[in-house]
Amino acid sequence: MKREVDYQVKEQVATITLSRPERLNALTSTLLTELVEAVEEANQDEAVRVIVLTGEGRGFCAGQDLKTVQPGMDHGEYLKQYYHPVIRAIATTNKPTVAAINGVAAGAGLSLTLACDFRIVRADAKLSLGFINIGLVPDAGAPYFLPRLIGSAKALELALLGDTITAEQALDYHLVTKVVEAESFEQEVSAFAELLSQRPTKVIGYIKQLQAASSESTLDDMLAQEIIYQSRAGKTEDHQQAVQAFIEKKAPVFVGR
């Protein structure tokens, strides 16, 4: 039986592809389960230094496949069982994550991208939170990530109106990292992932942990966390080599350790 998520590793980059192109990669319980497994595999593989999440075909993800919704099902329990493990896996990995939004990203499909560190979007893509249009609240982490990315007022606007926005609008809202023309999209994503793969991977993990803690912490809490993580960073092989490279007036070569 065809898997609904494709997993490939090339040159230190794990590419995880939602693979239901005939349904615009709409989400099912099977796909979400396979997605968790793929993210966890990438996170545990020391050879992987970047994780890219994308969709097969002409779209990124149209959200939950409504044809799989059963009458009377408890949407909250479904979230707890299938969506929340995915969002936690993406948001808590210590490796940099890139959502390559190659087309429509709607509903929970957009939510998946919000859990990533970076969002590169194709110029002709359309994005929509859209939950309000089917009488549901935003979920899969969107109520947490979206206000932090674009501010509470704009996040509420997108949630209540359910409008579809263009790639350029998403860039204006600071919702995405960059907009790329369709003909160069794959090359730009690859180049961006390669750039990240050459950074000090272990230190990236420390930065992500510090950043995640900041919104719930006091200044004193964060100063204390700085001490802990800077001590760890100072002991990495990458830091030691970078200092030596600086002394020798050479460019550092980070190995991710």
Return the active site residues.
84, 139
Instruction: Classify residue 252 by its DSSP letter.
Output: -
Contacts of 15 (CB under 8 A, 6+ apart): 6, 7, 8, 9, 52, 54
Token code pair at residue 175: 């919702």
Report the 10 Å Cβ neighbour count for 135: 6
The H or E element containing residue 42 is helix 29-44
Other C-beta atoms within 10 Å of 132: how many?
A: 16
Q: Are 37 and 14 in contact (CB under 8 A)?
A: no
Classify strands 126-128 and 118-122 as parallel, antiparallel or unpaired.
unpaired
